[in-house]
Structures are given as structure tokens and as C-alpha cells.
Amino acid sequence: MHDDENRKKLLNRLRRVNGQVEAVSRMIEEDAECVEIVMQISAATGALSKVAQLLLEAHVRQTLHDAAESSAAEREAMLADLIKLFEKYAQTK
């Protein structure tokens, strides 16, 4: 699904998210200001959402590519799967 370059970019993003989450832990341990902690959580949440967005984009692109080479029934099944995915993803927002 992902080429090596995109996989590397996604993993780098996730490492940054991991660092942000670790920073939140340290901030709580050090009794940092609540506003600063919430800002760091917000940054981590945004970064993780971006990873999800990039993954979803790649999935849609691959599905559309595969659908072009599929039968009508297979395309309908792929479309139904994509719709379910978007419905589920939209509920978490």
C-alpha cells in the first residue's frame, strides 16, 4: 500500500507524536501548567490526525486504482467499504 518513502514519512511523523506524548508525561510529572499540557496534547492529537488523514488518502487512492480494474460488483463492494470507513472515521471527530 505504501512505498518506502511514504512509509518512512509516516514513521517519522509517528516518532514525533510519540515524543509529544512523552513530553506530556514529563510535564505532568513536573507539575507543569495545565494550559501548557493541554496545548501539547492538542499538538499530539493534531499530528496523529494528520497521520490518519495521510493513511486514509493512500487507501482511497489505492482503492480507486483497484476499482478501475475490477468488475462492477467488485467496485460496488469497494465503494461500500469506503463509505463504511468514512462513516466510522467521521464519528471519531
Q: How far apart are CA 58 and CA 4, in angstroms?
A: 13
Share of the chain above pLDDT 70, in %: 95
Cell numbers for 28? 505532568
Q: How far apart are CA 68 and CA 73, in angstroms?
A: 12
Measure CA of the first residue to CA of the last residue in the chain; give whole Å: 25
Q: Yes or no: say if 60 and 82 are a contact pair by the CB < 8 Å rule.
A: yes
* pTM score, whole prediction: 0.78
Q: Which domains does the chain have, with CATH numbers?
A: 4-91 (1.20.58.1000)
Q: How far apart are CA 26 and CA 64, in angstroms?
A: 43
pLDDT value for 74 = 92
Q: Yes or no: say if 56 and 89 are a contact pair by the CB < 8 Å rule.
A: yes
Q: Judge whether residue 34 has pLDDT over 70.
A: yes
Average model confidence (pLDDT) across the chain: 91
Note the pLDDT tens digit of each residue in 53-89: 899 889 999 999 999 999 999 999 999 999 998 888 7
